[in-house]
Amino acid sequence: MKLREVDGMTFVEGGVCAAKGFRANGIQCGLAHAGASVTKKKNDLALIVADKECTAAAVYTTNKVKGAPILVTKEHIADGKARAVIVNSVNANTCNADGVEKAQKMCQLAAAQLGISENDVIVASTGVIGQVLPIEPIANGMKSLAEGLTYDGNPRAVEAIMTTDTAVKEVAVQFDLGGKTCTMGGMLKGSGMIHPNMATTLTFITTDADISAELLQRALSDTVKVTLNRVSVDGDTSTNDMVCVLAAGTAGNKPVTHEDADFEKFENALYAVMMNLARMMARDGEGATKLIECAVTGADTEKSAEIIAKSVITSSLFKAAMFGEDANWGRILCAVGYADTDFDINKVGVHICSAKGDIEVCRNGAGVDFSEEKAKEILGEDEILIKVSVGSGKGSAVAWGCDLTYDYVKINGDYRS
């Protein structure tokens, strides 16, 4: 899918290895679901390492049930520092009596191979919940994983974090801070169990910009709200969600320590990376055939616009209509109508858009004549934009989702196998 441009940003290749001083690798160490064999030689263990200690920040799932890796990572980056990320797919290491012990062991194994402190290692896991994580395949593979680290190892790493994902999700940008060229890149996994707050994802971002840990955390916390927290596929929020950022400071820019113009540029770069990753995640929703974007304008506040946009993209009836390429605008208005915020329904207008055109289907809360044939053509594209106007206010927001298909049920009916 086409990347969405952001002013001042230049897209580059490399994902988490695009920034100076970051290596990555991914291997197939042999993890498998209980009772299943590893029939596809997909990588299942990844490592990202910085050449020097980084400032670090993270945001985690709001689910009350949290995977053991989150508990360990929170402790390890409490000082705002980290240097490496170790992550596995297949098994979430969640709801296990020995979960914390296994997560700590993963950090110890990685640290021993890298010659660093285990407290400088971030750990993450994704996959099936409630099955004991076998540590032996990870231990056996760690030497090979570390020895294979390269400055262009991002493709191997991003493959290792995928579960039901069907597409690789990575992006990198370059931007200027005080006359120095800085780079930021990220990779993400996420396809199902996606819903604010947060969308089910493991997201790892690296940058060579120099920024304080406090401002790095602030930038990340702010940006999550307008990117990953505005994506929904199926209404389920995972136990293992984690987004982390490592900032190495190797670009040579003057350290960002205040909320000034450089901080704004940094946050804009983070938005460019995370917004595009969020769109990729929505497009690759389990069983999805379409990326759906809902843009709301004219609300009294941004929060009100966000609530309305989320209401539309989470409506199962609307999502099913998009799969059927049916311009059933009443389902859009229905979802707008039960959004928990104040607005005048008699001022609502709706347009359905894609690369094939823009068609108005509702004005002042009522239907207008439109060509069903043209609407069908517009909805035949794989990226659909729903524009909703609710008045003359200055509040606006965008949310992303996908259509609801037969394949979503098929995928989740036998997920463990």
Active site positions, annotated: 200
Q: Which of 156, 194, 414 is nearest to 285 (CA)?
A: 194
Q: Exposure string (b/e) for 345-379, b if CB count within 10 Å is 16 or more?
A: eeebbbbbbbeeeebbbbeebeeeebeeeebeebb
Amino acid code (one letter) for 214: E
Give strand pairing partners of 88: 45, 125
How far, in Å, are 128, 395, 409, 411 from residue 414 at the CA level? 12, 42, 9, 6
Rounded Cα distance between 379 and 81, Å, is 47
Q: Is 313 helix (H, G, I), strand (E, B) or coil?
A: helix
Give helix 302-313 / helix 329-337 axis angle, nearest 10°: 130
Distance CA 165, CA 282 (A): 11
Q: Give the DSSP H or E segment for 87.
A: strand 81-88
> Cα angle vertex 56, ends 100, 261, to 5°?
155
- Whole-number Cα distances in Å, 399 to 142, 199, 229, 273, 318: 39, 12, 9, 16, 14
Please state, in angstroms and rounded to a whole number, the distance separating the CA atoms of residues 305 and 339.
Answer: 10
Burial class of residue 78 in the structure, from the number of CB atoms within 10 Å of its CB (0-12 exposed, 13-18 middle, 19+ buried): exposed
For 328, the 3-state DSSP assignment is coil
| Phi, psi angles (nearest 5°) of residue 244 | -130, 150
* Cα end-to-end span (Å), the chain: 29
